[in-house]
């Protein structure tokens, strides 16, 4: 099943595990800051999630 990532607008084949994000409030906040219209229930690809996760890990925010 294909879906569209709400952050980067790419078409993705595999579905991201959003259950993962929901436990990471800080991650959600970062995404919402950059994408105010985004919601955790919207489809998001692994790449975007990993990107924000990496930002936190690197301590850049
Ligand atoms: Zn994406």
| HEC secondary structure over 1-61 | CCEECCCCCCEECCCCCHHHHHCCHHHHHHHHHHCCCCCCCCCCCHHHHHHHHHHHHCCCC
CA of 19 to the centre of ligand 1 (A): 16
Cα–Cα dist 45/26, whole Å: 17
Average pLDDT of every residue of the chain = 82
Cα–Cα dist 57/32, whole Å: 18
pTM: 0.75
Instruction: List the domain boundaries for the chain.
Output: 3-57
Express each pLDDT in 9-37 by its tens digit.
998 876 554 545 666 788 889 999 999 99
Is 3 or 31 the better-scoring residue by pLDDT? 31
Mean pLDDT of 38-49: 86
CA of 57 to the centre of ligand 1 (A): 19
CA of 30 to the centre of ligand 1 (A): 14
């Amino acid at each position: 099943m294909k879906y569209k990532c709400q952050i980067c607008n790419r078409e993705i084949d595999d579905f991201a595990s959003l259950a993962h994000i929901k436990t990471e409030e800080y991650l959600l906040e970062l995404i919402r800051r950059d994408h105010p219209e985004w919601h955790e229930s919207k489809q998001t690809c692994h790449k975007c999630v990993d990107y924000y996760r990496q930002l936190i890990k690197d301590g850049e925010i």
